[in-house]
Copies of this chain bind each other. A is one copy, B any other.
Amino acid sequence: MPILPSKSRLAHIVFEHDDKASKNFDLAILILILGSLIVVILDSEPSIYRDYHRELLILEWVFTGLFTVEYGLRIWLSKRKWGYIFSFYGLVDLLAIVPTFLSLILAGTQFLVVIRALRLLRVVRILKLGRYMKEAEVLKSALKASKLKIQLFLGTVVTIVLIAGTLMFIVEGPESGYTSIGMSMYWAIVTLTTVGFGDITPLTPLGKFLASVIMLLGYAIIAVPTGIVTSELAIANTKSKKKQGKTCKNCESKGLDLDAAFCKYCGKEI
């Protein structure tokens, strides 16, 4: 009979990632998540459902059981139990097991377990792949800096969508499939984003002309979010590179500009 690890040892395995046992635990969780995602995707395929639903259902309950045990373990081992439960990862861990239990009452909810994909975030974070972390940091800081600009931009897009949608609704009308302003706004989004499903298309010459203007507009404004992210990314890149800047020998300030002749903090010549 194997000797059970002590509670503190178990907590180390679950929460830390610095020795063999804890790394294996992380890896096992990673494989379980990927496995359970594959089970859900396969189970939704009609031909596979017909032949293997029973087997997949069993597997699904095995995965859910293991995740439930893991969730219980995490609560039990946490020092600040409520802190964990209401943390982002705590909620994701809970949401990853709820849908299966819910499917006993409500049909169709079992597919919601794909929320488990979010648990991959934790694993990625855990792996602390140095290289990725640095790159992710640059991306994150660029997106954060772009946030306000992108909100403004989305606001403008929504206003354009509202006006373009209404105009198309008036010009084309229900006969062409523009059955309501909501429907027309859906069409305007499909068009402005250059997705262009083609499920609804203008049929009248005036509608086609208006659609052409909307498309050219979309073509022109698609440039804006790209421009925003790019210029912020360039800045973030530069900042990340600045960390390799000059160092003052006097006050030991780091990250001084490469063209600086004097330290901007203490005024000594570099």
Contact = CB atoms under 8 A, between A and B. Distances in A.
Interface of A: 37, 40-41, 44-46, 108, 111-112, 114-115, 117-118, 120, 124, 131-132, 135-136, 138-139, 142-143, 148-155, 157, 159, 162-163, 166, 169-170, 174, 179-183, 185-186, 189-199, 201, 205, 208-209, 211-212, 215-216, 218-220, 222-235, 237, 256-257, 259-269
Number of copies of this protein chain within its complex: 4
Nearest to A257: B264
A227 B218 contact: no
B230 A225 contact: no
A228 B223 contact: yes
A253 to B, nearest CB: 10
A233 B225 contact: no
A148 B170 contact: no
B193 A216 contact: yes
B230 A215 contact: no
B222 A46 contact: no
A154 B216 contact: yes
A221 to B, nearest CB: 9
A180 B228 CA distance: 37
A240 to B, nearest CB: 11
Given A186-B211, A199-B201, A223 B220 contact: no
A230 B226 contact: yes
A261 B269 contact: no
A105 to B, nearest CB: 16
A227 B226 contact: yes
Contacts of A228: 139, 223, 233
Contacts of A196: 190, 194-198
A228 B264 CA distance: 30
